[in-house]
Structure 1
Amino acid sequence: MEKWYVIQVRSKAEEKIRRSCEMLISKEILKECFIPKNKRMKKIKGNWIEIEEILFTGYVFLVSDDPDKLYLELKKVPDLTKMLGHVDGEIFPLYDDEVKFLKSLSDCGHVVEISTGLIENDEVQIVSGPLKGREGIIRKIDRHKRVALIEVELFGKTTQAKVGLEIVSKT
């Protein structure tokens, strides 16, 4: 059964390591390799443009049904990688509820779209996008940068990530 695994890599080397994994690890072992991303608006030279950023800096996600072989194949990748969930010779995947939650946040391309919301009496209400109905995971909103800081669980630990959020009105 295919499970999600996470490797920790040097920051800013995620894409290079993702490509290396796809080239060096057998397709029978590595079913998929991806970097979760998020879309957000960013002001560049006075204009707001949509950009994609890495959701969890320093991490690459791998999908496999054979964690032991995957662990051995990762040794072929010529850069520093550390498999998370590797404890005393056993390899643990992300928990099923964590995978389900991450899948629900993003499309099949592993990209979290921009949410739209409004603020009424200091209460955030998300009207569309992946954060709709999940207002409770929002820890902070930066209206100027058009992002929300959210908390998610990975390996039973709370991790923070920034996702795009457009606040269309405040009353």
Structure 2
Amino acid sequence: MWYIAHTTAGRELDAVDKCRKAIPEDIAAKVFSPIWQHAKKYEGTWHLDDDILFAGYIFIESDSDSKTLEKLLWRIPNVVSPVRIGGDFNALNKEEEQYLRQLMDEYNYIAMLYGYIVDNQLMIYKGPLSGWSDMVKRIDRHKRIADIEVYLWHQPKRVRVGLEIIDKITAQEYAKIKLQKLEISHE
């Protein structure tokens, strides 16, 4: 189960490190702050850059009960505090956790998405949302990012992911590209 703790924005990786040291591995199998990859222009060219997906939050994977984990978190003062929903420290529900797991790789990293505008509709060609283009709520082609909607405790939250639009093409051109991709993968 994934639990979420609040920390100071900009200090997420420090909080992850302190939690890893303070919480035994048999209680917290994994402590992390998801990272997203995006393109950023500086020095006149585009570069791939990384940022924290949920500023001010860390995730703790644990099969222990919430009370045990919460007691350990309170022992790390001024670093983290449990996120309480409805007065209790609860894990994300299974569907929300599963969706986030599908977005991230094993290192809790959301890689850059690559897509085409096909007959005025986004088609994600490569990346963790491949085939899930309808999850994208807004595109900023100039900044090469997209907003997607995720749910945490049944509440919608918009987060940004990196998105490179390769080109605007027709459905026939896109079908040829997908066919070429299949042929290459079978070789």
User: Taking structure 1 as the reference length, what is the TM-score of the superposition?
Assistant: 0.92
Is 1:38 aligned to residue 17 of structure 2? Answer: no
Q: What count of residue pairs does the alignment treat as equivalent?
A: 168
**Separation in structure 2 between the aligned mates of residue 81 and residue 125 of structure 1, nearest angstrom:** 39
Structure 2, gaps ≥5 residues long: 170-187
2:131 is paired with a residue of what secondary structure? coil
Aligned to 2:164, which of 155, 163, 166?
166
2:149 is paired with a residue of what secondary structure? strand
Deviations 1:41-82 (A, max 9, x none): 111111211111111111100011112111000012122533
Is 1:127 aligned to residue 108 of structure 2? Answer: no
Matched AA of 2:81 = K
**Separation in structure 1 between the aligned mates of residue 90 and residue 159 of structure 2, nearest angstrom:** 22
Shift of the alpha carbon at 1:131? 1.5
8 Å contact 2:53–2:160 — kept in the other structure?
A: yes
Matches within 5 A, 1:92-111: 92-111=90-109
Shift of the alpha carbon at 1:92? 1.8
1:148 is paired with a residue of what secondary structure? strand
**Separation in structure 2 between the aligned mates of residue 76 and residue 20 of structure 1, nearest angstrom:** 11
Is 1:75 aligned to residue 86 of structure 2? Answer: no
1:30 is paired with a residue of what secondary structure? coil
8 Å contact 1:85–1:93 — kept in the other structure?
A: no
Matched AA of 1:111 = Y
- Greater shift in the superposed pair: 126-135 or 54-63: 126-135
2:4 is paired with a residue of what secondary structure? strand
Q: Which residue of 1 aligns with 2:26?
A: 28
8 Å contact 2:31–2:59 — kept in the other structure?
A: yes
Q: Which residue of 2 aligns with 1:48?
A: 46
Q: What percentage of aligned pairs have identical amino acids?
A: 31
Give the structure with higher Rg (CA): 2
What do you get for the CA RMSD once the two structures are aligned?
Answer: 1.5
User: Taking structure 2 as the reference length, what is the TM-score of the superposition?
Assistant: 0.84
Structure 1, gaps ≥5 residues long: none
Shift of the alpha carbon at 1:130? 1.0
1:109 is paired with a residue of what secondary structure? coil
Shift of the alpha carbon at 1:87? 3.9
Aligned to 2:115, which of 94, 114, 117?
117
Matched AA of 2:78 = D
- Kindly indicate which of the two structures has a greater share of residues assigned to strand: 1
Q: Which residue of 2 aligns with 1:84?
A: 83
Shift of the alpha carbon at 1:86? 5.0
**Separation in structure 2 between the aligned mates of residue 96 and residue 73 of structure 1, nearest angstrom:** 23
**Separation in structure 2 between the aligned mates of residue 124 and residue 87 of structure 1, nearest angstrom:** 37
**Separation in structure 2 between the aligned mates of residue 143 and residue 35 of structure 1, nearest angstrom:** 26
Matched AA of 1:145 = K
Compared CA separation, residues 86 and 68, structure 1 to 2 (3 A): farther
